């Protein structure tokens, strides 16, 4: 077998890219299905990417704690070790403005993770990945709610496009689902705090339990570019031909230690626009019940496709 010279490979690679339609740029593909990076639910694929997420909402008070306006700016960088295995590193800066008391600013705990893309089916436009994320306790500021203990989160991610539906239902084919199922296991069962009560003149213990929780959610997406390219050209122009309307459902259910069965979460309708190198998104944050809150918030995303921005350097797997 004759080996190709490096320059020949480069020429062939460039020619192949020039022959691709615009939709083929980017990452998160299963066949001709492009899965965007969503805002509330983590991706079902592995890629080189850099995300900045902004979240603003008024959160309800708990116990003696007052309601608080929370503004968060999160960043996450993901790097592929191999085409199927990636590592991630993320952090969040929080600004908390309670109804009563002083405002607080600080970083949350550092988050590190790994994800393996187990299944990629072009025919069925399907993805399946396994992941493990660790929130590293004690790396953030206690004043903004960072825990002193760590939390481990083994996760299952999936994505499924409807492009394999029969031709008799063409306008359903641009739909796609993604989802996640993750357990959140704290490394500490409880935190015991001893404080002096001046009224009784005695020391008292306060016990805060740390339950195991289940994070679960789905997204429903409608890709307008898929509609134009693979179903029917309905004449959408820029910027509408690169938009994906979507709804995300992000929930968390407590499993034990005093709050078993209690569920909180949000419904997040929004819109994503994606280009060759960047993706933008915005969503409303709507609580599903009173336990979650009563106020509507907003979430925004700026996402960079590192694998397309730097395909020959930072965007390549370390071990291709």
Counting DSSP H helices and E strands in the chain, the numbers are 3, 17
Q: What is the mean pLDDT of residues 44-68?
A: 92
**pLDDT band, residue 10 (cuts 50/70/90):** very low
The percentage of residues in the chain with a pLDDT greater than 90, rounded to a whole number, is 82
Q: Measured between alpha carbons, how far is 117 from 128 in angstroms, rounded to an integer?
A: 6
Half-sphere exposure of 71 (CA within 13 A, CB side): 5
What's residue 14's pLDDT? 38
The answer to whether the beta carbons of residues 43 and 37 sit under 8 Å apart is yes
pLDDT above 50: residue 195: yes
- Can you read off the two tokens belonging to residue 315? 């965007």
Distances in whole angstroms, Cα of residue 125 to Cα of each of 75, 159, 163, 211: 29, 8, 7, 36
Residue (of 41, 12, 23) closest to 275 by Cα position: 23
Q: What is the mean pLDDT of residues 82-107?
A: 95
What's residue 197's pLDDT? 77
Place of tokens 């080189």: 48
**Does residue 212 sit in helix, strand or coil?**
coil
pLDDT above 60: residue 8: no
Q: What is the DSSP letter of 25?
A: S
pLDDT above 50: residue 191: yes
Question: Which residues are within 8 A (CB) of 88 and not within 5 positions of it... i.e. 6 or more apart?
Answer: 76, 77, 78, 79, 111, 112, 113, 114, 115, 133
The answer to whether the beta carbons of residues 233 and 249 sit under 8 Å apart is no
The answer to whether the beta carbons of residues 108 and 127 sit under 8 Å apart is no
pLDDT above 90: residue 9: no
Summary mean pLDDT of the chain: 90
Alpha helices in the chain (DSSP H): 6-18, 224-226, 306-309
Q: Which residues are paired to 86 by β-bridges?
A: 80, 115
Domain limits, the chain: 25-309
Distances in whole angstroms, Cα of residue 120 to Cα of each of 84, 142, 175, 220, 283: 10, 41, 18, 19, 28
Distances in whole angstroms, Cα of residue 5 to Cα of each of 10, 68, 73, 200: 9, 61, 46, 83
**CATH number for the 25-309 domain, one of 3.40.50.720, 3.40.50.280, 3.40.50.2000, 2.40.160.40?**
2.40.160.40
Pairing mode, strands 110-121 and 104-107: unpaired
Q: What is the mean pLDDT of residues 15-32?
A: 56
What's residue 101's pLDDT? 86
The answer to whether the beta carbons of residues 118 and 153 sit under 8 Å apart is no
Distances in whole angstroms, Cα of residue 152 to Cα of each of 13, 86, 135, 186, 264: 40, 17, 7, 6, 20
Residue-wise pLDDT tens digits, 113-128: 999 999 999 999 999 9
**HEC states along 35-56?**
CCCCCCCCCCCCCCEEEEEEEE
- Can you read off the two tokens belonging to residue 218? 């789905």
Residue-wise pLDDT tens digits, 134-167: 999 999 999 999 999 999 999 999 999 999 999 9
Residue (of 106, 90, 185) closest to 145 by Cα position: 106
Q: What is the mean pLDDT of residues 250-256?
A: 97
What's residue 87's pLDDT? 98
The percentage of residues in the chain with a pLDDT greater than 70, rounded to a whole number, is 92
What's residue 65's pLDDT? 83
Residue-wise pLDDT tens digits, 254-312: 999 889 999 999 999 999 999 999 999 999 999 999 999 999 999 999 999 999 999 99
Lowest mean pLDDT among 2-6, 202-206, 214-218, 238-242: 2-6
**pLDDT band, residue 11 (cuts 50/70/90):** very low
């Amino acid at each position: 077998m004759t080996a190709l010279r490096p320059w020949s490979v480069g020429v062939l690679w460039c020619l192949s890219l020039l022959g691709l339609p615009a939709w083929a740029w980017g990452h998160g593909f299963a066949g001709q299905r492009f899965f965007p990076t969503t805002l509330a639910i983590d991706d079902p694929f592995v890629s080189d990417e850099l995300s900045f997420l902004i979240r603003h909402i008024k959160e309800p008070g708990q116990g003696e704690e007052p309601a608080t306006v929370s503004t968060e700016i999160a960043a996450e960088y993901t790097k592929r070790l191999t085409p199927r295995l990636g590592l991630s590193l993320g952090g969040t800066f929080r600004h908390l403005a309670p109804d009563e008391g002083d405002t607080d600013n600080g970083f949350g705990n550092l988050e590190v993770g790994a994800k393996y893309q187990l299944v990629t089916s072009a025919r069925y436009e399907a993805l399946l990945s396994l992941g493990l994320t660790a929130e590293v306790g004690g790396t953030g500021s206690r004043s903004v709610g960072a825990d002193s203990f760590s939390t481990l989160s083994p996760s299952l991610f999936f994505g499924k496009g409807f492009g394999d539906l029969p031709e008799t239902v063409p306008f359903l084919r641009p739909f796609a689902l993604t989802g996640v199922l993750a357990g959140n296991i704290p490394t500490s069962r409880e935190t015991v705090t001893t404080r002096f009560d001046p009224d009784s003149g005695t020391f008292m213990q306060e016990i805060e339990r740390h339950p195991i929780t289940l994070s679960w959610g789905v997204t429903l997406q409608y890709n307008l570019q898929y509609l134009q390219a693979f179903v029917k050209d309905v004449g959408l122009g820029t910027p509408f031909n690169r938009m994906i309307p979507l709804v995300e459902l992000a929930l968390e259910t407590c499993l034990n230690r005093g709050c078993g069965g209690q569920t909180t979460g949000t419904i997040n309708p929004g819109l994503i626009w994606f280009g060759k190198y960047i993706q933008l998104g915005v969503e409303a944050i709507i609580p599903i019940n009173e336990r979650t809150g009563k106020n509507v918030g907003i979430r925004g995303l700026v996402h960079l496709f590192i694998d397309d921005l730097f395909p020959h350097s930072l965007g390549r797997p370390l071990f291709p």
